[in-house]
Structure 1
Amino acid sequence: MSLLELTVRNVKRNFRLYSIYLFSMIAGVIIQFTFTSLMYNKDIMDALQNRANFQTGVGIASLVVFLFIIFFILYANSFFMKQRKKEFGMYLLYGLNERQITRMVFYETLIMSAISLFTGILIGGLLSKLFGMLLMDLMHYDQVISLSFPMPSIAATIGVFLLLAMIISVQSYIMLNRVQLTELFHAKQKMEKPVRVSSAWAMIAVLLLGMAFALISSGKGSVFWQDYATVSMIAVTVGIIAGTFLFFRQFAGWLLQAVSRRKKYYEGNTMLWTSSLRFQIRGNTLNLTFISLFSAAIMLLLSFMTINYKVQFEAVGRNLPNDIAFESLASSTNNRIDSLIRSSGHEVRYHLTQEAIVAEPVSDMGPAFENPEYYTPYLLLVSEQTYNGLMQERDPKQSLDLQGEEAVTLAQGSDFAQSYAANRQPEFKVKTDGETAFRIIEKKDYAYLGWSSDPVRSMVIKPAVLVISDEAYRSLREHADKKSFEIYGIADAGRAEELSKQVHAIVTETPGAYYSSFADVYSKQIEGSALMLFSSGFLALIAIFALASVIYFKQLREATDERLQYTILRKMGVDDRQMKSVIRKQLLFVFLPPLVLGVCHSWFIIKYYILDSVQGFTGLSATVWGIMGVYFLIYVLFYASSTNVYYKIVNENP
């Protein structure tokens, strides 16, 4: 019998194991092909405004997807090889050498790759249309996506899995050479010893996790993060990782030990499921730690990207509140731009010409304008009346009422916006023809003019604006330098990229002239955040598959190893109902703690370092809980599937 014939025979004989492996490979092909095909889809590329950025982003994300697929497939192959150690031992006994067995595994991998490539590319091509439509919907583009099977994407996917076949062969060869022949025959007969647990180490696990959660919940404004940021970061990292490891290594064992000391320990089936778990702690510690941390990373990634996406729509409007705004130029140039805007097809909702005084800051700009390096070095003093005139068109709720020396700084993007009590209002001095002192009554997280923008570089710098009372403005106006600004509100401003390029080209003929357009940033931010959310969704999908493989294969291995014990229990009179109850309780102890810890890790970080930074946006907490709810549901499905598979395996003859 040739190696090829032996390979085909193996596939037929071990169909159940191969079906698990085949499913892993097909899932990898679908994800790889579906993702890369988007980069070569003509309909998608035609709809995008920033094609180069999209291709770069997809390229980077494809690399990350590829790395996840390698981990996913190699883990599945590792399990597959361990399950077949006895079979390989027989081949070695019959005279085959390691190279021949490795070649046989390579043939098997090629057969599996061919099947998975054909099936995966077919399904992936169908799904690419669906996912392409989803991507366009995320970007708010009304574009029809056609079904396509791009040759570059097919070639890339085939290349990836040929490379994987080579890597798998190397992995198989290394695994075969690392073990002795006797080990191959007795691979399934090794029994793990229960871990020696200590109540002190169990307490340390709880203290480490408590310390990490306490530091995180103290918030970034606390003294720990303001004065000891590096130490706090190290403490949180150590607390989460070491605390999680010790939780499963010591606290779980201590808890099982405490259960075994109860008077009712021998009642019901408690002894059956706890005794098995005590022997599995040593082998499960790293897996459960990995699952907890990986679960937290998945939820954190997806939550962050979803929040980032939802925030972008409103954040762009906060950063660039004017559809088109530019510094007033010569009358002929202003008229030329006005004609261009009105003939562009974008209806003009309003057009205002507004004046501001140019002043130099005498006081330190830091307290008035957070991160002053993002602002112009000069100030623009805007009268209350002028400011309120624009607010009538934009948002009347933002109107101000100022008296005398009162002033409001417009520090859009500030994390510490606040109103000051009468006895705590900081003084802020400015210089026009002479020095003038104002009392800041509020630092407002709002923009009057917004960032200056560029169709290529997006946001450049933002004007430092101080709103002052009308009487203060009148007293300074006569002897001060002034600038005027043309502010337009237009319909469908998000799709005015071409108009913005034309207006920007005219304005920049005057060096240093201010220009700002909502469209310059909107398409880049929305396309970028949509792509990141889309990519993170794919990464989360394959990460969940990887996580499922870790859980599923581990339980499959343990169920296979415990068939003899369950056969003995059945002979002793334990019925199916009790067996199912034992399996459910045993697996619940494996599934529930990693889920709870993963949710806690991710929620604390999301709540205190993401949600607290975007408090002005509604519905974000519900979104995060929705993501965690979906993850919980998927996890429940994993649990139900594992209990069913576990029960079927232990009912087979050992």
Structure 2
Amino acid sequence: MLTKIAVQTIKTKWKNLLILFAGLVISTAIFYMFSTVANNKAFLTANTSIKSIIVVFVIGEILLGLITFIYLNFANRFLVQLRQREYGLLMMFGANKLSISRLLFMETFFLGLISLVMGSFLGAGLTIVAGNVLQKQLDLTLPHWQIFNSTGFIITICYFIIVFSLNGFLNQLYINRTDINKLLQANQSAEKTPKTGVANFITGIIGIVLLILSFVVMAQLVAKGIFILIALVLAIVLNISGTYLFIRSSLTLVLNVLKGSSLSATGLRRFTLGQLSFRLRAFERILTIVTLLFALALGALTVGRGYELSTPTLAEQSSPFTININQPSKQDDQLISQLQGVTYTKTYQYKQLTNEIVWDAAQFDREPLPYYKSSTSDNSSFTASVPKIQFGNANQISKPNPSDFLIRKTLTDLATATNPNHISIGNTVDTHKFAISKAPVKRVTIVHVKNMTSQPNAQILKKLAATQTKRFPTLATLGVSGAYGFLEISKGVFGGLEFMGFFLAIAFLVMLASTLMFKVLSNVDIDRRRYQILTMIGATPAQRIFANALEIAIIFIVPLTIGIIDVVYGLPMFKALMVNPYIGLTSSLLIIVSFYTLYYVLTVIIYQQMLKKGNK
């Protein structure tokens, strides 16, 4: 009987449960998507050079599990608040607490199971879309990518069954401990107003200190070579604690200052500030979680964008020419002519002898060889800039000048390219020896383009490299010489990290949206009466909409501000792994803030629609 009532309740109240159900499905999907990657050890080890990446993902999965548990706890409380007055009425008509608690457990568990099934399918779909689209957009081919992982699937099922069961038991405990009068007066009791004073001020100071300590840990522990996982765990604990304490105290102080200022005297601002003051306690934990999610999303995208933007720079630093074509065919020459933004194209003749390659010195005088001039700085470390290309003649190439030793490196790269078997071989730059040699004359063409990742250059260079690899199979392992060859090798080294950054950003961004939107929208039933009172005392629809939009905006701004600060001071953690950890911050911030603003606008629109429906 109770089972039928629970099923019928879900059927009849599906509109009221729609927000809750959508949040449950999304949280399940994100957990499944993350768990599939975190438990795919072959994919993680094959696509990154970081040995501890598996442990990092395990910690990430645990962190996501904690965030999901807190989110589901909020969802669970929403379900109880939605029905508690009905449960009180049932008790008045003779139903005992044991039956009511069992009914609530069944409703929670059934809703959870449905969302678990749908969320798993949605998670698999998101994994397919995220994986395929990202690999296509980033021009990556990542081995061992899976849309289904048995271990990840089992972990997802077990975790959510345990969580839904635990929530069901907590609901039973709540009903058993709650008096019937309190159930009947649900949503009519006033919320506690946060207290101010010395203790509140001290709490804020402690929060700021913990936040600063988390930033110090992020920067200093990695800089001193201490194991990065220790820094990661410690920084997360300090940051979450500091953020919670800071939000708990600072918002109360700020709102009290605003209420006492002249700004609150116009329009409905005093009402808006009062609304926020009454609901601060309910939003403290959720704002802390959303702040963490925002920082994780922005940080992950910044790191992914950093690798995406810095890899071409690293490739450009590796060679003064983009690609070399050994023994170019007519088809190769046609492809080269289609390249855009060509800085130079040079073709050199050579003769390959048994132990050396002979170059015509006179040709280097006519067509100077490009090279990067060495600097006095440490050449073992990369910088964020590309050296200026120099051009050397035959005399410079032959002269053993230590300051220009990199010109010999360019010649060595050409020799390697013209020697398909990659046997150790010398270089000779001599016009006479070139002329008297009876070996057949061969050609090598080198090209430099301003942007090798733009279209159509990327596709043309890919075709040229494929042609060389087909004609000289040994290049399939060692790669073609030049910046483009280095770029392809770098994608194999950093491509996995680049992909993971974008993938995690999507996961955290969706989780962030569902968490904050759900929490805000779950207050509609309580707020509806307050806005009805505003209408009764003469507030216009435009004033009500503005007041509501301002209230939600303040709630959204808090995670935005603290999250950005977290990322700005947390990015130094990646100095050991990246050329410039801040290179992708600006573009990533624009992307994340754009989506975050979109979430805000959607939340306001949906909120207003729900208020209107309730007034009809």
Task: Answer yes or no: same fold by TM over 0.5.
Answer: yes
User: 1:551 maps to what in 2?
Assistant: 516
Deviation, structure 1 residue 302: 0.8
> Would you say 1:598 and 2:593 are equivalent positions?
no
Please report the TM-score for the alignment, with normalisation by the length of structure 2.
0.62
Matches within 5 A, 1:477-496: 495=466
Distance of 2:2 and 2:115 partners within structure 1: 18
Cα distance per residue 1:159-201 (max 9 Å; x no partner): 5664355234322233224425353826644622223145955
Deviation, structure 1 residue 268: 2.5
> Would you say 1:413 and 2:364 are equivalent positions?
no
> Would you say 1:107 and 2:123 are equivalent positions?
no
Distance of 2:13 and 2:157 partners within structure 1: 23
Match of 2:166 among 150, 160, 171: 171
Conservation of the 8 A alpha-carbon contact between 1:37 and 1:128: no
Across the aligned residues of Structure 1 and Structure 2, the Cα RMSD in angstroms comes to 6.1
User: 1:195 maps to what in 2?
Assistant: 195
1:634–1:196 CA distance, 2 compared to 1 (3 A)? same
262-271 vs 9-18, which moves further: 262-271
Distance of 2:408 and 2:197 partners within structure 1: 57
Cα distance per residue 1:241-273 (max 9 Å; x no partner): 666445423333222212222356444322211
Query: Secondary structure at 1:581's aligned position in 2?
Result: helix
Distance of 2:109 and 2:59 partners within structure 1: 25
Q: How many pairs were matched up?
A: 512
Please report the TM-score for the alignment, with normalisation by the length of structure 1.
0.59
1:560–1:529 CA distance, 2 compared to 1 (3 A)? farther
Deviation, structure 1 residue 543: 0.9
User: 1:632 maps to what in 2?
Assistant: 593
User: 2:434 maps to what in 1?
Assistant: none
Distance of 2:259 and 2:408 partners within structure 1: 62
Conservation of the 8 A alpha-carbon contact between 1:291 and 1:547: yes
Matches within 5 A, 1:391-430: 392-395=368-371, 398-399=372-373, 411-414=379-382
The residue type equivalent to 1:105 in the other structure is T
The residue type equivalent to 1:11 in the other structure is I
1:55–1:319 CA distance, 2 compared to 1 (3 A)? closer
Deviation, structure 1 residue 516: 9.1
Conservation of the 8 A alpha-carbon contact between 2:21 and 2:111: no
Matches within 5 A, 1:513-532: 522-532=487-497
Cα distance per residue 1:444-473 (max 9 Å; x no partner): 99976999xxxxxxxxxxxxxxxxxxxxxx
Deviation, structure 1 residue 536: 2.6
Distance of 1:111 and 1:214 partners within structure 2: 41
The residue type equivalent to 2:494 in the other structure is S
1:638–1:119 CA distance, 2 compared to 1 (3 A)? closer
> Would you say 1:571 and 2:536 are equivalent positions?
yes
User: 1:534 maps to what in 2?
Assistant: 499
User: 2:74 maps to what in 1?
Assistant: 79
Match of 1:53 among 39, 46, 53: 46
Conservation of the 8 A alpha-carbon contact between 1:552 and 1:642: yes
Query: Secondary structure at 2:178's aligned position in 1?
Result: helix
The residue type equivalent to 1:413 in the other structure is S
User: 1:14 maps to what in 2?
Assistant: 13
Distance of 1:179 and 1:229 partners within structure 2: 44
Conservation of the 8 A alpha-carbon contact between 2:296 and 2:508: no
1:442–1:593 CA distance, 2 compared to 1 (3 A)? farther
Matches within 5 A, 1:363-374: none
Match of 1:561 among 518, 526, 533: 526
User: 2:549 maps to what in 1?
Assistant: 584
Matches within 5 A, 1:456-495: 495=466
Query: Secondary structure at 2:557's aligned position in 1?
Result: helix
Aligned identity (percent) is 14
1:502–1:210 CA distance, 2 compared to 1 (3 A)? closer
Conservation of the 8 A alpha-carbon contact between 1:409 and 1:440: no
User: 1:282 maps to what in 2?
Assistant: 281
1:558–1:353 CA distance, 2 compared to 1 (3 A)? farther
> Would you say 1:181 and 2:181 are equivalent positions?
no
Cα distance per residue 1:26-50 (max 9 Å; x no partner): 54676688899999xxxxxxxxxx9
Cα distance per residue 1:10-31 (max 9 Å; x no partner): 2222213432244345546766
Conservation of the 8 A alpha-carbon contact between 1:244 and 1:289: yes
The residue type equivalent to 1:259 in the other structure is L
Matches within 5 A, 1:615-630: 621=583, 623-630=584-591
1:392–1:102 CA distance, 2 compared to 1 (3 A)? farther
Instruction: With a CA cutoff of 8 Å and minimum separation of 6, indicate the structure with the bigger relative contact order.
Output: 2
Cα distance per residue 1:314-356 (max 9 Å; x no partner): 424545779999xxxxxxxxxxxx99x999x9999658899xx
Query: Secondary structure at 1:96's aligned position in 2?
Result: helix
Conservation of the 8 A alpha-carbon contact between 2:31 and 2:156: no
